[in-house]
Each structure stands twice: as structure tokens, then as C-alpha cells.
Chains A and B, each alone.
Chain A
């Protein structure tokens, strides 16, 4: 079952279409990494799922229920969220901030101490949040999202502002949530490496469009080894390979083939030479996840 589903979700600001026909499917119990460069529409999408922004078109289903203004709050009782920067009252202490969220969500009072200890803020709970570092505020935001231990956690760039150790801690915590509390986590990031280490499902968004959605394993499968050939006549070589039922594509002056055994590679070079097509280069290549991400998003800036 999908915990979150969107169908044809669109959001327009002025003349700009920020989210276009988005069909998101977040399976239950998954850590779903929502990946895309800055400004791709990740936060806007997550805000629409939470009802903080109104979709221009499309449907949103959470826990199998179609979300509308009348049932939104009831559905969101089972959803914790941290969108963009953490929300807090600077003049109140960390504990007082959590008490407000706990009261609003109707969560048990004991959850406050529990979530404070999960995010390791129990030693700082009496300090005014205005005096917290950005990393501590981020952890407080996560603690607030965890109150009531909701079924779904929506985290928008949760590692922003954290130091390397904090990022590592946050990753470990997010990865542990499905197993420990049975939560589904929808987490966004513009960092491929981060999603690679946290998620088991991935959605990649580019300029408001979902360009990839599958398991992380399926994304990794795209990075398998392949052969790249350059010949004196690539067109003729492609025709000959096609006749021999060897799939190939032409990319930037190279013919891209599946990886062959040594014996098959030797046979191929003889076969081409016999047809007066000389082999100039034969390279074994592997696409990195970054290459695939760049191919899909067409952007390098945020990497």
C-alpha cells in the first residue's frame, strides 16, 4: 500500500509552473528519498502534501484517503513534518516548544522526554531556543515532528545546518525510524550521496517534473558496467551489431554496448574487421550515480 500518492499534482505561481503533473508514490514502511536540485519543486510538493500550499490541479491521497480541506487536519494527526527551516518560539525553552506541539497534536506528555532523548537535546531542554545553534534547532524540529510517533514523517532537507557528525546522526536516526517505530519517511534532499545512504525508494524531480521513481536498487542498476566502442565507421558498425542482435546506442561518437565476455569481445573485433570496420577504441565504462543524476536532472550546480 502507498502511504502517500499524488496524481497529476500541479502548482503554478504567477506564470511559472513549479510542479507539473507529479505522480508520487511513497510505499508504506519505506524511506523515500525525494531528490532534486535546489528550486526543483521539492518543498512546494511537500507543502502541498501537508496542505500548507494549495495545489493548482491534481489529487493527493494520504493513508488511502483523498485529502481535502475538511479532513486535512484529521489526516495530519498521524503525520509529523519538518519543512525547510525548523519552526520554533525563540523566547521559549526547548521543552516549552515541544509542550505546545504535544498539546496541539494531543500526544502523550511522556513523549516530550522521549523525543528529547532521541534527538539528544535532553541536556538543553531548559534553555531558550533563541540561544540554540542551528543544528540544535534542526534537532528540536525533528523532535517536534516525532511527537506522538506518527505513521508518516515528512522531512524537508533535515540535515541543513548540521555539522558532519550531526548529519551522520540524523541519517542513522532516519534509517532506524521504519524499523524502530514502524514509520514511513518521506525525506527530501538536493544531495544524491545523502539519499543514497538513507533511502530505499527514490523519486527524482527536475523543474517540477518527476523524472525517475523507483527503488534505490533500480537506480543503482542503471550504473552497471558497459562497453564503449569507437570505430572507423560507427554507423556501419551499429548496423552490423543490430544484425547480430547485439543492442547498442550511439552516444558522443561511441557505440555503447552491454558488457561482453573476453571471448565475445575478441569475436566482435574479428567480426567488425571482417566487414572492413576497424576498431579504434574499446573501453569498459561504469556510470556513477552522479552521472545518472546529472543525466536525469540536467544540472550540476547543486552537486
Chain B
């Protein structure tokens, strides 16, 4: 807990809140712009439409968002050569764990606030059928879990390379891959870690070519995809941590 508190202390004036607010604002803008193009009858499936769009916008914004958050937290250790000092007081493994826990809490706060905002928006827009609390909760958990898997990758990169361009380029590349992977078959999505926002989405869309009508339906993620998500996370965590612990400062 002491180390986790210190991570928050170290991130004073790093404008982490501003980055998170930027991500939320971009998501709200995206969905707001989308809503303006919908007819009233389209909003009959408002909650499904919202979660479908959020999965899409997560795939675009959260890879680069997690890269930015991880980079802001890890860059400070490189900038002032702080690892030489820290590693005489704590083991690199514990430091790595504290940074990961910090990232987990920041991302949890981000997706939780996002869920609250969008739920309020749905209530205000009077989407029919009442708030699907369970699905909103599961969706929040999925967004957080996929973001954490990517955060493990980004933290590994940000701590390994002093030049943060490496990690940020990876995040931008991830946003592109995350979006594009939705256009490909499931097995391709499974091979791209950034594609799991779409893969684990709670809503799917049907598009009838003859009537040119789209409708949405609920679904639950495939267990195999959840297992694969955990595997990706384990790989990123193990490789990133091992490289960091072995690195001499």
C-alpha cells in the first residue's frame, strides 16, 4: 500500500486526470455525434446501441489512452534517472507491481466514471427497457480487463525504453489494429490483443441486406476468448516484468 500511495504521489502534476477526461470527452462526443444521426425508432434499442458503440470507440481510444497513461507514469523514472535510487530501497519486482496496481486503479476509475456518465445519458435520453445494470457492470469489467491487458504491454514498453515514442507508437498502432480487426474473422481478432474490445463486446449487429435494416442483439463473450485474454495478459506481464527486473540500472 505504501508503494501504491507513492505512485499516486509521484504522479502529481502529471495531468493524468486531464488525459482521462480527454478520453471520456472523446467518447461522449463520438456517441453524441452518432445519436444525432439516429431516428427515434433506432433508439428503441438504445442500450444495445450504446454498448455496441462504446466497444467500438474503446477499440479506437483505449489502446492509445492506456499507452499515454502508462507512459506518463513510467517516463518520470527515466527522466530523472530515479531507478538508481528507488532500487536501493525496494526490489524492481515490487516497483513493477506497484506501478501495475496504480494503472489498474486509474483505469478502473476511468471506466467506472465512463459507465456512470453513459448510464446517466441513457436514462436522460429515456432509452426503453430500463437500465441493464448487469450488462453495464459486465461491460465495465470487460473494458477494464482488456485495458489492463494492454496496460501490461504498455508498462513493459515504457519501462524498457527510455524513449517513450516506442510505447506511444505501439499504442497508436494498437488503436488502428483494434479498429481494423473488427472487420476480420474471429480468429484474426483473437491474434490481435487490441481486438479484444470488439471480440468481447456484449452486443452484435445484424444487417439485413434486403431490407437494409440493422438491429442489435445481446450476447455473452465466448469463454475461450476470456481465457485467451488472460493468456495475453499473463504473457505481457511476465515478459515485461522479467525484462524490467533483469535490467541493470
Contacts and interface: CB of A to CB of B under 8 A. Distances in A.
Interface of A: 47, 50-54, 73, 76-77, 79, 81, 83-92, 96, 99-101, 103-105, 129, 144
Nearest to B91: A73
9 contacts: A52-B87, A73-B90, A87-B86, A88-B82, A89-B82, A91-B14, A91-B76, A92-B12, A100-B6
A73 B89 contact: yes
Given A73-B90, A88-B82, A90-B79, A52 B249 contact: yes
Interface string B75-112: 01001111111111111000000000000000000000
Q: Report the 7 A-B pairs with minimum CB-CB distance, sorted nearest first.
A: A87-B85, A104-B89, A88-B80, A53-B248, A87-B82, A91-B13, A76-B88
B2 interface: yes
Tier of interface size on chain B:
20 to 34
A43 to B, nearest CB: 10
B178 to A, nearest CB: 31
B interface majority secondary structure: loop
A101 B6 contact: no
Contact of B84 (A83, A99, A100): A83
Nearest to B2: A103
A258 B14 CA distance: 68
Contact of B6 (A54, A73, A81, A103): A103
A100 B81 contact: no
Nearest to A100: B6
A90 B75 CA distance: 11
A84 B248 contact: no
Contacts of B184: none
A85 B14 CA distance: 23
B219 interface: no
Interface in B1-60: 2, 5-6, 9-10, 12-14
A92 B86 contact: no
A58 to B, nearest CB: 16
Given A54-B248, A87-B82, A81 B10 contact: no
Contacts of B91: 73
B2 A52 contact: no
Given A84-B81, A99-B9, A105-B89, 12 more contacts: A47-B248, A47-B249, A50-B88, A52-B87, A52-B248, A73-B90, A84-B84, A87-B81, A87-B86, A88-B82, A90-B76, A104-B86
Contacts of B5: 103
Contacts of A144: 85
B77 to A, nearest CB: 9
Nearest to B14: A91
Given A87-B81, A96-B12, A76 B89 contact: yes
Given A52-B84, A90-B80, A104 B249 contact: no
Interface centre among B2, B6, B84 (most CB of A within 10 A): B84
Nearest to A72: B91
